Amino acid sequence: MTAMTTENSQIVLGTMDFGTRVDPDRAFAILDSFVAGGGVWLDTANCYSFWNDPSGVGGASERVIGAWLRARPGARDAVRIATKVRQNPLVPHSWPQSAEGLSARAVHSGVEESLGRLGVDHVDLLWAHAEDRTVALEETVGAFGELVAKGVALRIGAANHAAWRVERARSLARERHLEPYTALQLRHSLLQPRPLTPLPEAGHRLLTAEDLDLARSEGLAVWAYSALIWGSYVRPDKPLPAAYDHPGTARVLAVLDEVAADLSATRNQVVLAWLMHQNIDPIVGASRVEQIEEALAAREVPLTETHMTRFGEAR
C-alpha cells in the first residue's frame, strides 16, 4: 500500500468565531499555536460573525486578527490572510435584507474597511463570499481585477459560486486582461447529506463533481469549509444534522473508525487527511488550542490508496 502525499495541501485556520464566541485571549493562543505548528493561512470575512455579535454587524474576527498582528512583531510575514466581501449587513440586525453585494462600490468599500480592521495594506487572497446576481458580472470582475492591479489583493477567489459562474467570470477577466479567480471555496466533508436535500444553512453551497472538474482542469485551489461538520464526527453533544441520516453515513462511519484505529489517528484527523489527499485544503475552526494541534497533526496521517478506495466504496 502506497501512502499518498499531502505536500500540496494544508490546514487553513478558520477564524469565524474570533471576537464573538472565542474571546481575544483564546484566539491569540490559537493563532500562536497555529503558527508554531507550521500553519500559514488564516481565513476570515468582513461579515464574521454578525449573527453572534450584539452589534448586529461583522468585523469582530478581522479586528482580533489585526490586534494579534500588532501584538506579534513579524507575524504578518509568517501568515497569509484571506478575507471575504459580500454578506456583511449594512444595517445592524438586518440580514439578508441589507447584506452588501458585489457592486464595484460595495467591493471597494468592503475591502477598505477590512484592511483597516486587519491593520494591513493588502490581503493575500480576497474571496467573493457569495454570488450577487443583481449586479452585472462584468462589474464585479472589474472591481476585483482593479484590487489585484493595485496590489490590495494578491489573489482572488469565488466562494459559494456555481461552477459555470466562476468560469464565466474567469473568461470575462481574460478578455479584459484582468486577474481571474484562481480559487474556489465550498462546503465539503467525508460525510455527505442526502442528494438533493436543501441545506438549512443560508448561503452554504456544497462542493460538486463539476466544481472539482473545473478546479483540476484549470489549476484552481479548492478550500473546504465545515470540513468537520461542526464537531459532529467526535462530539456526542453535536449530532449530525438530519440531512446526513441515510444508509451511506453508517457505512462511511464504520470505515472511518476502522481506518482511524489502523492509523492510530482520530476521526477528525482522518477526515482532514482524506480531504488533503485530494488536494483540497480544509478550513478548520478552533475554540481551543488542542483542537488546532489535533488538526495540524492530520498532515502526518499516512492514508493509502487502499484507504481512499474503501471510503469511496462505502459512500
Task: Assess if residue 295 is contained within a domain.
Answer: yes
Mean pLDDT check: name the lowest of 199-208, 280-289, 290-299: 199-208
More confident residue, 77 or 198: 77
CA distances from 93 to 50, 57, 90, 119, 260 (A): 8, 7, 9, 26, 43
User: In this structure, what CATH number is given to the domain that contains residue 228?
Assistant: 3.20.20.100
Query: What domain range includes position 109?
Result: 12-244+268-299
pTM assigned to the model = 0.95
Cell digits of residue 291: 483542537
Name residues whose C-beta falls within 8 Å of residue 44's C-beta, 6 or more positions apart in sequence.
15, 16, 18, 61, 62, 65, 81, 82, 83, 84
How many whole angstroms separate alpha carbon 185 and alpha carbon 166? 11
DSSP string, 13-50: EE-TTBTTTB-HHHHHHHHHHHHHTT--EEE--TTTTG
Model pLDDT, residue 79: 98
Q: Does 123 fall in a domain? A: yes
CB 286 within 8 Å of CB 296: no
Other beta carbons within 10 Å of 49: 20
Contact between 162 and 131 under an 8 Å Cβ cutoff? The reply is: yes
Number of CB atoms found within 10 A of residue 56's CB: 14
For residue 34, pLDDT over 50 is answered with yes
Task: Provide the pairing of β-strand 125-128 with 41-43.
Answer: unpaired
Give Cβ neighbours of residue 251 (< 8 Å, ≥ 6 apart). Answer: 314, 315
Q: Does 306 fall in a domain?
A: no
What's the whole-number mean pLDDT along residues 75-97?
98
- CA quadruple 182, 228, 257, 296: dihedral sign: positive
pLDDT at residue 251, rounded to an integer: 97
pLDDT in the model for residue 107: 98
- On whether residue 162 sits in a domain, the answer given is yes
Alpha carbon distance 35, 298 (integer Å) = 15
Q: How many domains does the chain have?
A: 1
Identify whether 185 is part of a domain: yes
Note whether residue 48 is domain-resident. Answer: yes
Cα-Cα-Cα-Cα dihedral sign, residues 122, 128, 132, 135: positive
pLDDT of residue 73: 95
7 in a structural domain: no
Lookup: cell for 202: 443560508
Domain membership flag for residue 225: yes
- Positive or negative, the Cα torsion across 96, 101, 105, 106? positive
Helix, strand or coil, per DSSP, at residue 280: strand
